[in-house]
Amino acid sequence: MKRISILSKFYNLYVFIKKNLQLIAGGFFYIFREPIRIHNKVQSISKPMKTISPFSITLMLISFSLQAQTELDFYTIIDEISMERIEADITTLANFGTRHTLSDTLSQTRGIGAARRWIFDSFQEIASACAGCIEVQYQKNYVKPDGRRIVKPVWINNVLALQKGSRYPNRYIIMSGDIDSRVSDPNNYTDDSPGANDNASGMAGTMEAARVLSKYSFENSIIYIGLAGEEQGLFGGKGLAAYAKEQGWEIIGILNNDMIGNIKGVDGVIDNRTFRIFSEPVPPTETEQERKSRRFYGGEADGISRQLARYIHKTVKQYMPEMNPKMIYRLDRFGRGGHHRPFNDAGYPGIRIMEAHENYTQQHQDIRTENGISYGDVLEAVNFEYAKKLTAVNAINLALIAWAPPAVTELSIGGIVEASAKFRWTKASSSDVKGYRIYWRDTTSPTWDHSRFVGNVSEATLAGIVIDNFFFGIATVGINGVESPVVFPNKIFRD
């Protein structure tokens, strides 16, 4: 990753030079006493270096530090996520009384109008702090009564903060939270509905990710967005997905955060480490020919959203091993929905990140006490430390994908009735590509368990690996060491 904050770069340089002070002081002869670790790959130098001047060595160290991305950057991002800021934002959102989609839009202190203006202003403050690196705007959608949950005409306005990519500005990775809230009656837009966990937690997490990542520069664009109208029928997501199609955006993923602050489930389980990643198996936009082909070649669990889920799972296992990401092979909770679905419907990769154990007494409920049980989505039920952890999950994945090179668009696989699996692909059109990594796994495994870096080539053969027994995919590897999400084969060839 070549473009990160200047302070982070020079801190890395300071640490590296301090660690190798002997080399600079001695100047003429040195043997590296330990391997260099870059992107979790160890490169050992066992032979003495030739005689070089101290000045040349210093220049070499500076060049190394400025070009190589170390794991420190990802751990720094994790550490910079603030529980206190998340708690303050959730509290502010809950104190608007209600954020129901149909609630007051004129009051300065109550209703969805006041809430979305505050979110807009908060994003503007972030933009000011980073010298305008973020553009803030409303994405507006006018919705007429539908006889169900839209009982009067309403503007459903999303609040969008765009951090433009330096190299691929039209490629977008999106993190979303929901602005609106509700009580037991979905059309009750006057009673108090604090929506502290559902979904002030996801909205606050999105704002916090923007604060932290605005300190960095990325090749791909990032959108941090508050979506409205979720409880009334996913209207905000539908509007943004349609807008993205109209504008010709290339959305490389959407991370929908809906309820990331509860650790005590209705089942009695208390868990502050596990979270769920929901993803659909294959896109609903696939063609009939693609569906028929899958019957013979496999890939029932290898759609673009499922690959995004695996990417997040792998990242968390690497950088946040204390967390327990749980991939759920389902679009969403049983019979329920979330704001990633409209993007899936439009053919974009999207997943839902949320708590592992829901408490139904604290969502979609009038605030009350019955039989000794307190109902209502109130601040007291939110675990802010857990919300911080899931915000960090989002932030490091946003950073990785925003720093990643483009994935290949065409991957052909061959090796039918042969002792080797063969691959051909159209190389990504980028000068920042180091090469490609082929992944494979057992057909019953949920994760990519084996891989081989094959270099900057457009075809490769895995000798001795029979195509029948595994699923395969390929990721693009950047010169910064960051990989794109895996792409599943979309063509077959026979030699």
Please indicate, yes or no, if residue 211 is contained in any of the structural domains: yes
pLDDT in tens, 29-75: 333 333 323 333 333 333 344 445 555 545 444 444 434 445 678 99
Please indicate, yes or no, if residue 1 is contained in any of the structural domains: no
Please indicate, yes or no, if residue 138 is contained in any of the structural domains: yes
**Percent share of the chain, pLDDT over 90:** 84
pLDDT in tens, 451-485: 999 999 999 999 999 999 999 999 999 999 999 99
Residue that finishes a domain, picked among 70, 88, 113: 70
Residue that finishes a domain, picked among 70, 89, 110: 70
DSSP state of 323: S
Nearest to 262 by CA among 392, 359, 338: 359
Report residue 461 CA to chain centroid gap.
Answer: 32
pLDDT in tens, 326-347: 999 999 999 999 999 999 999 9
Please indicate, yes or no, if residue 382 is contained in any of the structural domains: yes
Please indicate, yes or no, if residue 481 is contained in any of the structural domains: yes
pLDDT in tens, 195-219: 999 999 999 999 999 999 999 999 9
- Residue 86's φ and ψ, nearest 5 degrees, are -65, -45
Residues 287 and 366 in one domain: yes
Return the structure tokens found at 378: 């109130």
Please indicate, yes or no, if residue 106 is contained in any of the structural domains: yes
| The total number of structural domains that make up the chain | 3
Average pLDDT, integer, range 319-325: 98
Specify the range with the lowest mean pLDDT, choosing from 64-73, 176-185, 417-426.
Answer: 64-73
- The CA distance from 469 to 156, in Å, is 49
Question: Which DSSP string do the residues of 154-190 spell out, in sequence order?
Answer: EEEEEEEEEE--SSEEEEEEEEEEE-----SSTT--S
- Which uninterrupted H or E stretch holds 10? helix 6-19
- The CA distance from 469 to 440, in Å, is 10
Please indicate, yes or no, if residue 463 is contained in any of the structural domains: yes
The range of the structural domain enclosing residue 37 comes to 6-70
pLDDT of residue 431: 87
Residues 21 and 57 in one domain: yes
**Percent share of the chain, pLDDT over 70:** 86
Residues 441 and 354 in one domain: no
Average pLDDT, integer, range 108-136: 98
Nearest to 315 by CA among 442, 307, 5, 168: 307
Residues 87 and 65 in one domain: no
Residues 28 and 173 in one domain: no
Nearest to 198 by CA among 329, 381, 385: 381
Q: Which residue has the tokens 């765009």?
A: 162
CATH code of residue 116: 3.40.630.10
pLDDT at 379 over 60: yes
Residues 363 and 442 in one domain: no
Return the structure tokens found at 166: 């330096």
- The CA distance from 114 to 53, in Å, is 63
Please indicate, yes or no, if residue 10 is contained in any of the structural domains: yes
Average pLDDT, integer, range 368-377: 96
pLDDT in tens, 382-404: 999 999 999 999 999 999 999 99
Residues 397 and 484 in one domain: no
- Residue 23's φ and ψ, nearest 5 degrees, are -65, -45
Residues 373 and 422 in one domain: no
CATH code of residue 456: 2.60.40.10
Give residue 111's region: left, alpha or beta (phi > 0; psi -120 to 50): left
Residues 149 and 287 in one domain: yes
Residues 448 and 325 in one domain: no
- The CA distance from 261 to 108, in Å, is 27
pLDDT of residue 22: 38
Average pLDDT, integer, range 288-306: 95
Residue that finishes a domain, picked among 40, 70, 100: 70
Residues 352 and 306 in one domain: yes
Q: Answer positive or negative: Cα dihedral of 331, 335, 340, 345.
A: positive
Residues 39 and 65 in one domain: yes
pLDDT of residue 430: 84
Assess contact for 100 and 222: CB atoms under 8 A.
Answer: no
pLDDT of residue 495: 83
**SS3 for 375?**
strand
DSSP state of 371: T
pLDDT of residue 71: 66
> Who contacts 179 (Cβ-Cβ below 8 Å, separation ≥6)?
99, 112, 115, 116, 119, 158, 159, 199, 203, 226, 227, 228, 236
Specify the range with the lowest mean pLDDT, choosing from 150-164, 248-262, 418-432.
Answer: 418-432
